[in-house]
Amino acid sequence: MRVPRARKAAVAVAAVALAAGALGSCGADSPGEGVTSAPHAGDAACKRFADGYPDRLGGQKLTFTDRPGVAVWGENAIVLRCGVELPEPTIDPCATVDGVDWVFREDHSEDGGKVVVTYGRDPAVEVAVTEEITAVDDVLVGLSALVEPVKPYTKCVGMDDVPAPAPSG
């Protein structure tokens, strides 16, 4: 479902709150600890992304890129995994940021953090953000620029995209 622009910021803020728990629960003591590569991390696009990871994201410095398809900013404050399984159609909230659809994976988000995944692009990119990151919208803007070159094969749709039934009679 597509989220109207006015709600994007609110959804992004909610995303930050949920991501912290997802990362905090892995008990990582150093950047990248406990983070595994996704099943399709060897995809050529994931390798190209690695050349374009921003040096800073969400106020955090890029601190770890030593596994295929994995990038970490800060002390696991932001964790990117390229090559995750493509998300199925869902009713989870979706925000379009600079032309890239991001689904908020409510089933993976807990303890104040948020997990989001690109929708309609192959390979899919998953990002976990802890609660310490207050500008999730900036994170999604920075990462949307990274994944935008991957051609979308579908997009999020919302109730506004469903045509009204024709009047009968």
Beta pairing partners, 57: 60
- What lies within 8 Å, CB to CB, of 76 at 6+ separation is 23, 26, 28, 31, 32, 33, 35, 130
Q: What pLDDT, on the 0 to 100 scale, is given for residue 64? A: 95
More confident residue, 63 or 108: 63
Q: Where are the beta strands (DSSP E) in the chain?
A: 56-57, 60-64, 70-73, 78-84, 94-97, 100-104, 114-118, 124-129
More confident residue, 41 or 30: 41
Q: What pLDDT, on the 0 to 100 scale, is given for residue 159? A: 64
Pairing outcome for strands 56-57 and 60-64: antiparallel
Residue ranges of domains in the chain:
5-152
Tens digits of residue pLDDT in 123-146? 999 999 998 888 888 999 999 999
Of the pLDDT bands very low, low, confident and very high (cuts 50, 70, 90), residue 15 is very low
Asked whether the predicted pLDDT for residue 49 surpasses 50, the reply is yes
Mean pLDDT to the nearest integer, 61-87: 96
Q: What pLDDT, on the 0 to 100 scale, is given for residue 160? A: 67
Asked whether the predicted pLDDT for residue 112 surpasses 60, the reply is yes
pTM of the model: 0.77
| C-alpha triplet 31, 10, 90: angle, nearest 5° | 80
**C-alpha closest to that of 141 among 56, 42, 46, 44:** 56
C-alpha 90 chain-centroid distance: 15
* Residue 113 DSSP code: B
Q: What pLDDT, on the 0 to 100 scale, is given for residue 113? A: 84
